[in-house]
Amino acid sequence: MTRRRQIYEGKAKILYEGPEPGTLIQYFKDDATAFNAQKKGTISGKGVLNNRISEHVFTLLGNIGVPTHFIRRLNMREQLIRQCEIVPIEVVIRNVAAGSIAKRLGLEEGLQLPRTIIEYYYKDDALGDPIVSEEHIACFGWASQDEMHDIADMAIRINDFLTGLFAGVGIRLVDFKLEFGRIYDNDYARIILADEISPDGCRLWDMTTGEKLDKDRFRQDLGGEVEAYQEIARRLGLLPEG
């Protein structure tokens, strides 16, 4: 492999300089972290599955007109993406109570929320990604109001699409996390969907059994992480029926 300049290394991915200006290579690692990296581990084969699942989902979203950073998959662990300036906000969309909202508000896990909730978290590892409101985002200039409007709009659209996609294969989309970025055309900034969509950042439950098919298997020491990710890929038609 030729040596490439590493731009960034995150918990589950590495970004390298791309072949052309304005592009990057996104490499999917097998590393897994939880609880703000207090728990660390490896899920052998996860990177390959997430690369494939995220490619599939981003391609489908592109087909319905959601602008994304995805260009094409390069190999088992890498995809070519557009370079963008990441908005320092994690956008969490929730359809069903689980995880931090269940804990914070004392809700029973599995409660169907009367309406979809969008939450924002400020991306800062040292602070443990605190939840913030649109007031904070505007006050500190993390994104403009126009950008937040586009982000919320896209988040709802993505949720509607993914809820249907997963329901069609017997999976309940409980919640998930999105990240967005800016790309500049001359002086005009446009918001695009960035990062990845995979079982690392989604809660996905089997509709009939309630079985967890996502990173909660790692977070909660349930075991069978890779089998769960494989099951998601299989249901999406990305692996042969087993």
Q: Which of 27, 70, 166, 176 binds ligand C5P (CB under 6 A)?
A: 176
Q: Where are the beta strands (DSSP E) in 23-69?
A: 23-28, 31-34, 39-42
Kindly state whether residue 31 participates in binding ligand C5P, applying the rule CB under 6 A: no
Report, in Å, the least distance between residue 213 CB and ligand C5P. 12
Residue 215 interacting with ligand C5P (CB under 6 A): yes
Q: Return the number of the residue (24 or 173) whose C-beta is nearest ligand C5P.
A: 173
CA distances from 34 to 31, 42, 94, 162, 218 (A): 10, 11, 19, 24, 8
3-class DSSP assignment, residue 233:
helix
Query: Collapsing DSSP states into helix, strand and coil, what is residue 2?
Result: coil
Work out whether 202 is an interface residue with ligand C5P (CB under 6 A). yes
Tell me if 196 contacts ligand C5P by CB under 6 A. Answer: no
AA letter at 91: V
- Count of residues in contact with ligand C5P, rule CB under 6 A: 13
C-alpha angle 202/95/27, rounded to 5°? 15
Q: Between 10 and 22, whose beta carbon lies closer to ligand C5P?
A: 10
Residues 6+ apart with CB under 8 A from 146: none
Binding mask 76-105 for ligand C5P (x = CB under 6 A): --------------x-x------xxx----
Cα–Cα distance for residue pair 53/17, rounded to 1 Å: 23
Q: Which is nearer to ligand C5P, 23 or 33 (CB)?
A: 33
In the complex, which residues of this chain contact ligand C5P (CB under 6 A)? Answer: 90, 92, 99-101, 129, 175-177, 201-203, 215
